[in-house]
Amino acid sequence: MGDILSTAASDECGVDGVCPKKPVIPIILYSGCDHRLENVEGTKFIVECRVPLISGDFTKEIDITVDDGAADGEQRTLSIPVGVDLEDFYAFFIPATSQLVYLAENNLMIWTLYAEDPICELSTIWKVQEDPPGTLPSDHVTRGIVSAQVCEHGRSFSIELTRPKWYRATVSYREMVTEGRPDTLTMPISASDTLSTSEEYRTVQGVLHLINVYRDGTVDCKQAIVRYLQERIRPSPKHPASSLATICKAWTLENRGVIENLVDELLPDNRITWVPDSKLTKEQDPLAIILKHAMDNPIAIKVAKVIMSYCVTRANKSMNLAFLAPLFGSLYNIMDLFPDEAARQLSRIAYIPVKNRSYILDNHILVHQPQFRLQFWKPNNQPLCKTKYPIMQLHVSDEIPDVSIKSFTRPVFSTSFDALWYYRDAKALGSSGEVKAEASDTTTTTWWRTLFRMIRLKTQLRAHSYVECYDFNLEFFDNPAITALVTYKW
């Protein structure tokens, strides 16, 4: 059962070339309704709508049940919050893909229905259009489906929508008259779509709507939402916006509990769900985003702790330093805002076991401790197995490995010097004082060039400081891993 495509729109389905659309009959989801649906494989479903006695802000739910002839109480059902009980909701079913499509609170949601568990998987969530100016968070909108057309294979459809009806909460709900017109919504987006919004906008705003659905949803509904968000946790050509970054941007004092639970579900310690990208900007990095909230509301550190704990735990268990990119990218801000938390996390990442020990041993350059040598221009060829405190730098080489390294039996660890300092160039500082990271090419040098540059720097009375050490407390350096880094550098 395929998902609805989210690529560029076309009348071509990709199966038989041009695929004309056929009309389908919309269904109305009203309190007490009972719709019987059947997909092309013969699986039957029951879709009901009800108003639960106890609920959150959403006061209406859809119950989707597999109609397998089981007795009451044994049927598998998924309950989905859809919105406030103002008017009826509109939907239609696509038998070819076994998908239920419905409109709720200006959002289009598509659920794929299955005969086995889980019986429903969230396929798409879109906010179909922008809210008009002056809209309040407590305002609600309903919109109906006049007609719907779906291609033969269920991979694309178009919907004709009624004018939007807005409701503003006062003493009682009343209709808020706004300008509106009938519109056509297509998926994938095509030239005939009249709502004038991008797919990225619709997807990002749809994720924001999911926060409220997650808050009021049942356990099965919450798990389905988490699976949907985890598939979109890292930006890609198919999903241009990170769901994790979008959720972190939506943090407020009011929804902080929901955001904490949701981020905790998205980033479990027992498996990999997110591999950070080292090239993310501050606007795309979830940790940097939540730390920006923490500048005004320190309680946001709870979400930041979840992200940092995930990154450090996965870096240690997978032995992959790539997971630490968010921490090193925001370490200066963490030290400034929460120095105790920064020290605690850094003490966990000072040394990370090397996953492939033989590869490191076969491709390394040995760095010796500083020592007085008369012939300092000659390389120190002392073998690894005879070095008292060896520090190795990874250097991929095509040379045949030295057989003497087999005598080296001590464990090998990797660490990053980002744990000690940060780049702080006066020319790269903006008006806000934040460091602007700039890409630099790694170049090779010689001992005499290094000596010349050091002498030139020391003779400049007003030289800029390009690298600054983090302002750690003395207790932090009791960590033997940090001691090794400091000993190596100074």
**pLDDT tens digits for range 354-364:** 767 777 788 78
The pLDDT value given to residue 207: 92
In the numeric block, the tokens 């008017």 are attached to 87
Among 63, 72, 75, residue whose Cα is nearest residue 31: 63
Residue 221 CA to residue 224 CA, distance in Å, equals 5
In which element (H, E) is residue 314 found?
helix 301-318
**Comparing 50 with 180, which gets the higher pLDDT?**
50
Whole-number Å distance between alpha carbons of 437 and 423: 8
Asked if residue 471 has pLDDT above 70, the reply is: no
CA distance 210 to 229: 9
Among 402, 367, 374, 310, smallest CA distance to 484 is for 367
Task: Give bridge partners of residue 394 from the DSSP assignment.
Answer: 364
**pLDDT score at 1:** 37
Least confident of 237-246, 273-282, 330-339, 421-430: 421-430
Task: Look over the chain and give the mean of its residue pLDDT values, rounded to a whole number.
Answer: 79
DSSP 8-class letter at 435: B
How far, in Å, CA of 153 to CA of 174, rounded?
A: 41
Other C-beta atoms within 10 Å of 123: how many? 19
Q: Is pLDDT at 432 greater than 50 in this prediction?
A: no
Please, which residues bridge with residue 99 across strands? 94, 112
The lowest-confidence range among 16-20, 62-66, 189-193 is 16-20
Cα torsion angle, 220, 239, 201, 285, sign: positive
Q: 228-237, 276-285, 325-334, 457-466: lowest mean pLDDT where?
A: 457-466
Q: How far apart are CA 274 and CA 437, in angstroms?
A: 23
Tokens of 268: 């479990």
Degrees, nearest 5: CA angle 126-131-137: 100
Per-residue confidence (pLDDT) for residue 481, from 0 to 100: 57
Neighbours of 352 (CB within 10 A): 22
6 pLDDT more than 50: no
Residues above pLDDT 90, as percent of the chain? 33
Distances (CA, A) of 253 to 212, 229, 250, 287, 377: 14, 22, 10, 17, 61
pLDDT greater at residue 35 or residue 452: 35
> What per-residue confidence (pLDDT) applies to 255?
92
> Distance between alpha carbon 380 and the CA centroid of its chain, in Å?
47
Read off the pLDDT of each residue in 95-124 and give the average, rounded to a whole number: 91
Alpha helix positions (H), 41-162:
none
Q: How confident is the model at residue 434, as a pLDDT?
A: 41
Whether pLDDT at 27 is above 80? yes
For residue 473, what pLDDT band results from cuts at 50, 70 and 90?
A: low
Mean pLDDT throughout 439-465?
61
Of the candidate ranges 31-45, 58-72, 138-152, 378-392, the one whose mean pLDDT is the lowest: 378-392
Average the pLDDT over 399-419 and give the result.
73
Closest CA relative to residue 300, chosen from 366, 341, 251: 251
How far apart CA 213 and CA 188 sit, in angstroms, is 24
Report residue 418's pLDDT band, with 50, 70 and 90 as the boundaries: low
Name which residue leads in pLDDT, 301 or 342: 301
Cα 33 from chain centroid (whole Å): 37
Q: What is the mean pLDDT of residues 449-469?
A: 66
By the 8 A CB rule, do 77 and 86 touch?
A: no
Over residues 196-239, the pLDDT tens digits come to 888 888 999 999 999 989 998 999 999 999 999 999 998 887 78
Q: Which of 222, 227, 225, 232 is nearest to 200 (CA)?
A: 232
pLDDT for the residue numbered 173: 57
User: How far lies 108's CA from each of 111, 150, 206, 239, 468, in Å?
Assistant: 10, 15, 8, 17, 51
Give the least confident one: 74-78, 304-308, 324-328: 74-78
pTM greater than the 0.95 cutoff: no
Lowest-pLDDT choice from 124-133, 384-393, 466-475: 466-475
Residue 109's pLDDT band (boundaries 50, 70, 90)? very high
Q: What angle do CA 432, 300, 330 make, to 5 degrees?
A: 45
Give the tens place of pLDDT for each residue, 134-191.
788 778 888 889 999 999 888 899 999 988 888 876 655 566 655 556 789 998 888 8
